[in-house]
Amino acid sequence: MPIRINIQFITSFAEEKIGNRRDICEDLKLLALVYKSIGNCISVSSGGDDFRTRVLSFITQALSASARLLSTETVSALSVSSISALEKFAILHFVSAQRAFLRGVETLLNNLEVSGKGENKRQPAERSKASRERKDVIERAAEIAAGIDLPYMMTEHPSSQISTYFKDYEELISCLVDPTEVATLDREPLKRCIELSMHEYSAWISGDTEAATAVRSFLNYEQQHATKNSVIDNVNGLILALKDWLPTNGAEEKRKEKWQAYRKTLSSLPDDRATMFDEAFGVRNVFVQPTATYRVAGVKRSKPVPVADVAGLLGTLISARTPADDLILLCGGPGSGKSTLCRVLASELAGNDQIHPIFLRLRRLTDTQDVASFIEGHLQNEGLIDKFSDLGSVQNLVLILDGFDELVMASRSKLREFFNALKDDLSSGPLRDAKAIVSGRDTLFPNGAGLPIGAHVVSLEPFDRQRVEKWGSKWRVLHKGRGVDNFFPEKLLSDGKAKGRDRSPLEHLVSWPLTLHLVARAHTSGSIDLKPENARLVEKAVLYRSIVADTALRQENQASGHGRLNPEQMRQFVQAIAWEMYSTGREALDVNEGLPILRSILPAATDADLAELADVTIVNQPELTKGEETGFEFVHKSFSEYFAAEVIATSLEKACFQTQQWGSKEKTWAMSVHDATQSLGSLFSMRLLTAEVQEMLEPMLGDFRSFLDGDSAQLTGTASSKLLASLEIKLKRLEELLVDFSGGNYLDVIAQITKLQRPRLSPLESFGNYASALLFVSVALANRIDRLDRKKDRCVSIPAQALIRLLHMILSGEIQIDATFSERGLTRIDTASVGQEKVDIAFPPIAPVLLQGVRGLTIPLSDAVERLGAALRTTQLENVLLSLMLEASGSKFDGMRHHRRFQSDFWRYESRGSIDHLQRSFGTGSFPGAAEELHYFERRVFDVVERFRSTSDVATSRQRFDEVLYRIRDVLSDGYRGGYRFREIDDRFRMIFEHILDGSGEPARRPKAPKQEN
């Protein structure tokens, strides 16, 4: 984990690590404790210019110490000491920041006019009290400053990080200025001091001193800055970032020939044709490095750092700059280029004899294996080690572990166990000097929640126009003479001003490497038409359909002969393989698991025929590839998601099929409700329908047979009546299934299916999965109808009681209902059009804002937010006034200082107040009127506080505080009983404020509140 640089850390670290250099330790101690020393040494008689002189004297001593610490001699001494590169950087970074801050304060004190009039006219007792107050104020501020962390982030310029650090020192600045002026000091001098400190630091960090160069080199900012506006199609920055930053452990290398052979294997990874779905070339030929954002998990920042050279950043992180047990997570969505980048990185590292890279696919890590035995088994097979402990003698070991999301039945808890085990191995044992880059989808960790604290998170970004253009030019060169001269994918991107529906429908496809390749491949084969007028017809599933169609055509040409599957059989086999992987949460099947599926398709085949057929199938099906143990796996996870969607689409067509009975014009369902629940339940109850599979499924919902035949008419803006009728029939069927299931009529059907599932789930989890999938698909159908015919305004129509019961089922299955779930399954639902009377509903324990897309529930939700908001505001006001009353009971100086700090923080950190609380908890962003009223109310409270602050009589102020507090409690009691709205609460407070604050006389007294209420 990256260390936290602050005064407390530096003082303890110096004694522990460089205690033999007493001169350095003493200078660090003097610099770190200068603020506390100022408070400790204020004499009773000091004041005005005398106080300023003492402060400047201490600052001068501290600046002299910083000059010695940043000298060439000290930097050289630190370089040859036993401390790590990170610890050396921590000292230099801390000293440079403190030096700049003290320079700013020194300049401010020298230029600020200070009035010490009346100070020496005080009586000795008054002077003594004032000095004690000043000492207490400064010591308290110094204690706060000791815990403020000095930020730093790899590849980012230090000056852009340090400004927030100086701003956190504002309170300390105000104390170091003459305390007689603190009460009236405005913010301009404080702002000026921060500007001076920033200017001083920027000048120092840009210099060519050895200390400044060392800080910049550690952060590796120059390399990122140099590539900021470049499109990089290589990973040369990886080795550049490692130059002069590779640790050496002096261990002798063994099995050199084996390692050289392994290096050749790694070097050829990006040239494997399988990386481009069996094109005539590997991914290296079209590789363009994506951009990324970088953050450290658990470290607060306003926003992640943009990264131009991802390979350069990864080189920085695997160098000696970071501790060995710091995990490096390469994250991104499906098809963002994570695996490709890992292969190219492994290939680049393999060319450097100082480094020993290891590339592993985590999909082969079984549920019963630990990380160490998994690595050991792989390297033993390669002949690189005899036992795991041999890795202790291999220097600069870099593990590249691809696909943490592809672990068996990956979940948040499983991944946490994996990350913790890996960190343990990296902190001790044979891997203690190794570095690990772990890649995977970040969908399991939305917004980084749940990632290991201190992990370096590199999140890949979509291609911008320049990168799409570069990729397209490489593709045209490779396919010259094959009709691709008109392939310019950058033209499928929107301009920067386009938003919402004005954005290009293909933008999300050509912006990611995988789908960009699919677009190019489909265009080159002629499977899709990318004319501008047809661009909006192409969805993700359409691209995969075109790839599968090309494969099927090739299969048809090769279907003759012994041991071949015809196209229909091949599709059945691939669908079955994909569904087995998807339903069990795996990314590969053992060959013994695939053979029974083949036998179900060819029951007359012998075992020898099936074994041969398995190999032939893989050779002739580019979507499939042979696993490390001759099993079945897809070349990319998204292919299995596409085929899983086909399985669901087929079952939906059967469950929603209508037939006309003899002698009747009306059509009825071919399947009974029981049979339809059983059919769909066998698919939907096994796991929560993923967003990726749902995205593939949606284009298939209209007419699946037409979709497979390549008919894109169902995707046009002018929908045919047949297509709309098909969507309407499916939606009507699912509405009936939702209502029936919510009534508990078919719970036993799903429970029976649960007993046959692998792995076994609890019935509650299966109920939640099934209900969620029905909602997801129903909302998708309603959205599809709305997209094709906006006049219909079709919603999912179910009674409110049925919806609430379904939500309780989902929560009982321990399924998280968050914003993503709400968008997929709780929009375009109408509970008011069913024609039932409104009844009181016990809402499930979820944030009301998640149900804002449900019609018919708006009024009770608004009432709930109003009541909760009123209670929150009154409680907040009570806490504010209580705090002010306690301050007023102390010294007048402390109280005034508190008011000044309150004034600045009240508005500066407004987002930390109740508006933010309401927005996060209850979604007041959806109720703008409530937020505006709350803002208006807080402004009024602040005005009242200011009038209290200006009162000269502390005793009278305290009486008024008591009066207001007592009356607030009355309003609180009434508000909780009556459920007042915001405006009613405001009116009650307005009357209290006007009565108490109007005029200069004593406020009307009320009986004192009982003692226990205080």
**pLDDT tens-place string over residues 17-45:** 887 888 888 898 888 888 777 766 655 44
pLDDT higher for 807 or 170? 807
Residue 550 has pLDDT above 80, yes or no: no
Same-domain pairing of 669 and 792: yes
pLDDT higher for 325 or 588? 325
Question: Shortest CA distance to 325 belongs to which of 1, 745, 553, 667?
Answer: 1
Residue 885 has pLDDT above 60, yes or no: no
Residue 122 located in a structural domain? yes
pLDDT band at 919 (very low <50, low <70, confident <90, very high): very low
Residue 269 DSSP SS3: helix
Range of the domain at 258: 236-460
Alpha-carbon span 950 to 450, nearest angstrom:
48
Residue 456 in tokens: 């370096």
Question: Shortest CA distance to 859 belongs to which of 838, 873, 845, 874?
Answer: 838
Same-domain pairing of 414 and 481: no
Residue 699 DSSP SS3: helix
Same-domain pairing of 602 and 516: no
pLDDT band at 967 (very low <50, low <70, confident <90, very high): low
Residue 946 has pLDDT above 60, yes or no: no
Please give the average per-residue pLDDT across 650-673, as a whole number: 88
Q: In Å, how far from its chain's centre is CA 666?
A: 52
Same-domain pairing of 484 and 398: no
- Beta pairing class for 328-332 and 356-361: unpaired
Same-domain pairing of 554 and 526: no
Alpha-carbon span 487 to 535, nearest angstrom:
13
The single-letter code of the amino acid at 388 is F
The single-letter code of the amino acid at 561 is G
Least confident of 654-668, 731-745, 880-894: 880-894
Alpha-carbon span 642 to 650, nearest angstrom:
13
Enumerate residues 6+ apart whose C-beta is below 8 A from 387: 376
Residue 163 located in a structural domain? yes
pLDDT of 912: 39
pLDDT of 505: 63
The strand order across the sheet containing 328-332 reads 305-307, 292-296, 456-460, 328-332, 435-441, 397-402, 356-361
Segment holding 891, helix H or strand E? none
pLDDT band at 293 (very low <50, low <70, confident <90, very high): very high
pLDDT higher for 19 or 646? 646
Residue 926 has pLDDT above 80, yes or no: no
Contact predicate 982/874, CB 8 Å: no
pLDDT band at 618 (very low <50, low <70, confident <90, very high): low
DSSP string, 7-48: HHHHHHHHHHHSTT-HHHHHHHHHHHTHHHHHHHT--TT--T
Segment holding 662, helix H or strand E? none
Q: What is the DSSP letter of 589?
A: E
Question: Shortest CA distance to 628 belongs to which of 671, 588, 685, 572?
Answer: 588
Residue 152 located in a structural domain? yes
Alpha-carbon span 470 to 489, nearest angstrom:
10
Q: What is the DSSP letter of 370?
A: -
Alpha-carbon span 495 to 500, nearest angstrom:
12
Question: Shortest CA distance to 6 belongs to which of 102, 90, 69, 92?
Answer: 90
Residue 778 has pLDDT above 80, yes or no: yes
Residue 512 located in a structural domain? yes
Peptide bond into 759 cis (omega under 30): yes
Return mean pLDDT, the chain.
77
Least confident of 218-232, 652-666, 830-844: 830-844
Least confident of 73-82, 688-697, 846-855, 887-896: 887-896
Same-domain pairing of 672 and 783: yes
Q: Which of 171, 189, 219 marks a domain boundary? A: 219
Q: What percent of the chain has pLDDT over 70?
A: 69
Please give the average per-residue pLDDT across 320-340, as a whole number: 90
Least confident of 147-161, 551-565, 681-695: 551-565
pLDDT of 131: 66
Q: Which of 442, 460, 478 marks a domain boundary? A: 460
Residue 112 has pLDDT above 70, yes or no: no
pLDDT higher for 986 or 25? 25
Instruction: Compute the Cα dihedral for 158, 164, 168, 170 and give only its sign.
Output: positive
pLDDT band at 509 (very low <50, low <70, confident <90, very high): confident
Domain count, the chain: 6
pLDDT of 14: 80
pLDDT digits (tens, 9 = 90+) for 413-470: 778 888 888 998 998 888 988 999 999 887 667 666 678 888 999 999 999 999 999 9
Residue 740 located in a structural domain? yes
pLDDT digits (tens, 9 = 90+) for 698-712: 999 988 888 888 765
pLDDT of 664: 75
Alpha-carbon span 281 to 554, nearest angstrom:
19
Least confident of 236-245, 397-406, 540-549: 540-549
Please give the average per-residue pLDDT across 386-406, as a whole number: 88
Helix axes 540-558, 513-525, angle to 10 degrees: 50
pLDDT digits (tens, 9 = 90+) for 521-537: 888 887 777 766 666 66
Same-domain pairing of 30 and 57: yes
- Across 79-88, 229-238, 593-602, 825-834, which has the greatest mean pLDDT? 229-238
Same-domain pairing of 495 and 560: no
Longest dimension (CA), the chain: 113
Segment holding 996, helix H or strand E? helix 982-997
Same-domain pairing of 701 and 849: yes
Residue 848 DSSP SS3: helix
Question: Shortest CA distance to 614 belongs to which of 624, 604, 551, 623?
Answer: 624
Helix axes 914-922, 858-888, angle to 10 degrees: 150
Instruction: Compute the Cα dihedral for 372, 378, 382, 387 and give only its sign.
Output: positive
Residue 122 has pLDDT above 90, yes or no: no
pLDDT band at 832 (very low <50, low <70, confident <90, very high): confident
Q: Which of 585, 616, 635 marks a domain boundary? A: 635
What separation in angstroms does the CA of 294 have from each of 152, 271, 305, 310, 440?
12, 28, 5, 9, 15
Please give the average per-residue pLDDT across 662-670, as a whole number: 82
> For the chain, what percentages of helix, strand and coil (3-state, to nearest 5) are there?
60, 5, 30
pLDDT of 192: 82
Alpha-carbon span 996 to 699, nearest angstrom:
66
Question: Shortest CA distance to 771 belongs to which of 746, 797, 799, 790?
Answer: 746
- Across 196-200, 518-522, 931-935, which has the greatest mean pLDDT? 196-200
| Entry field: residues in the chain | 1014
Residue 684 in tokens: 């939907």
pLDDT of 903: 38
Contact predicate 546/525, CB 8 Å: yes
Residue 229 located in a structural domain? no
Q: What percent of the chain has pLDDT over 90?
A: 30
Q: What is the DSSP letter of 445?
A: S
Least confident of 339-348, 633-642, 740-749, 964-973: 964-973
- State the number of CA atoms in the 13 A half-sphere of 818 facing the CB: 9
Alpha-carbon span 637 to 696, nearest angstrom:
12
pLDDT of 133: 67
pLDDT of 499: 58
Same-domain pairing of 83 and 161: yes
Residue 95 located in a structural domain? yes
pLDDT digits (tens, 9 = 90+) for 221-272: 999 999 988 999 999 999 999 998 987 765 556 688 899 999 999 999 999 9
Same-domain pairing of 823 and 867: no
pLDDT of 495: 73
Residue 1 located in a structural domain? no
Q: What is the DSSP letter of 401?
A: E
Same-domain pairing of 190 and 171: yes
Residue 128 has pLDDT above 90, yes or no: no
The strand order across the sheet containing 632-634 reads 588-589, 632-634, 624-626
